[in-house]
């Protein structure tokens, strides 16, 4: 997603690139991406995107640009190393074999269903129009549902999840949803682009929570809402047991947040208006990107890529 912040042509970009887009794989949709490393402009050539600054090529496979060039199987992060398992999970991810079990096991019996979570998140995001980021999107579980009047860009590390999401998009004839393979810590989008962002069931999986939040915030406009589902040390489900929380942290690198800790992370990452809703050990919260007037100069996350003229 390209660096249009210096030229202030985001509105024009939206009308040029997204009107009449084909489901999920429109070549026009590629115009918004930038290099995830330098945030410089990308040039498209057939089945690849080229960074003019880094001279790095990012392939496009099955209509999905891939911004992860390293072998995640060799990562030091247990979560990233498990990407092949996540790929296999895609087939059951939105079925009764996954969501109800996970929500009730970790969050506690009586946790909101997927349908109820979608309604809660939709209410937090509001009737947003424009561009929406679906961070660690899986098969677009939230993005496909919460922003029908917006253009949604989902990113995930799992090719299997993204392929499944693309199949859903094509099945449902959705012209407003696009996917890319990328890490949330290195998003391929320019600053101040998105009118809202969602992150479903993944914040606890990032090795550096604040880094992920800062990068999400970097791509959001001032005042834009963020809605997240994750887990906390609550009073229901197996996460109410301290021994379980220690185990998942030490052996699986899964964070189980405390509310004051999470609010601190959000504040340090440039967000405000933290509004949590706790259901046992399941947390759904909203926040807003703080305006520049509320940030010290050293706190303002900006990228240093080339200006992008459309």
- Taking only the tens place, the pLDDT of each residue in 205-233 is 999 999 999 999 999 999 999 999 999 99
Does residue 240 contact residue 281 with C-beta atoms inside 8 Å?
A: yes
Q: Residue 27: which of 51, 3, 46 has the closest Cα?
A: 46
Q: pTM for this structure? A: 0.86
Q: Reply yes or no on whether the pLDDT at 9 is more than 60.
A: no
Return all residues near 85 (Cβ < 8 A) that are at least 6 apart.
none
Write the pLDDT tens digit of every residue in 240-265.
999 999 999 999 999 999 999 999 99
The full set of domains in the chain, from first to last, is 69-299 (3.40.50.150)
Alpha-carbon distance of 114 to 176, in angstroms, equals: 21
pLDDT at 28: 52
Contacts for 44 with CB less than 8 Å, ≥ 6 apart: 27, 30, 31, 50
Bridge partners (DSSP) of residue 151 are 131
């Amino acid at each position: 997603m390209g660096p249009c912040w210096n030229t202030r042509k985001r509105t024009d970009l939206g009308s040029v690139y997204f009107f009449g887009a084909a489901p999920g794989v429109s070549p026009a949709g590629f115009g918004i991406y930038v290099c995830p490393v330098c945030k410089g402009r990308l040039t498209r050539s057939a089945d690849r995107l080229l960074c003019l600054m880094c001279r790095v090529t990012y392939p496009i496979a099955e209509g999905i640009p891939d911004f992860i060039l390293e072998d995640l199987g060799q990562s030091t992060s247990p979560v990233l190393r498990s990407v092949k398992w996540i790929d296999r999970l895609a087939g059951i991810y939105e079925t009764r074999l996954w969501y109800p079990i996970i929500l009730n096991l970790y969050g506690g019996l009586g946790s909101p269903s997927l349908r109820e979570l979608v309604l809660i998140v939709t209410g937090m995001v509001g009737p947003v129009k424009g561009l929406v980021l679906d961070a660690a999107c899986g098969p677009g579980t939230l993005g496909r549902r919460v922003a029908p009047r917006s253009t949604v860009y989902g990113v995930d590390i799992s090719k299997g999840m993204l392929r499944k999401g693309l199949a859903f998009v094509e099945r449902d004839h959705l012209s407003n949803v696009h996917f890319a393979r990328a890490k949330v810590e290195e998003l391929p989008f320019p600053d101040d682009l998105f009118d809202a962002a969602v992150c479903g069931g993944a914040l606890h999986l990032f090795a550096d929570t604040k880094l992920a939040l800062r990068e999400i915030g970097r791509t959001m406009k001032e005042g834009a809402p963020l809605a997240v589902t994750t887990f906390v040390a609550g009073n229901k489900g197996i996460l109410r047991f301290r021994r379980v929380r220690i185990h998942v942290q030490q052996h699986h690198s899964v964070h189980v947040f405390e509310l004051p800790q999470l609010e601190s992370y959000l504040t340090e990452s440039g967000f405000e208006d933290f509004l949590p809703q706790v259901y046992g050990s399941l947390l759904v919260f909203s926040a807003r990107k703080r305006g520049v007037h509320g940030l010290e100069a050293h706190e303002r996350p900006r990228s240093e890529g080339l200006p992008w003229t459309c």
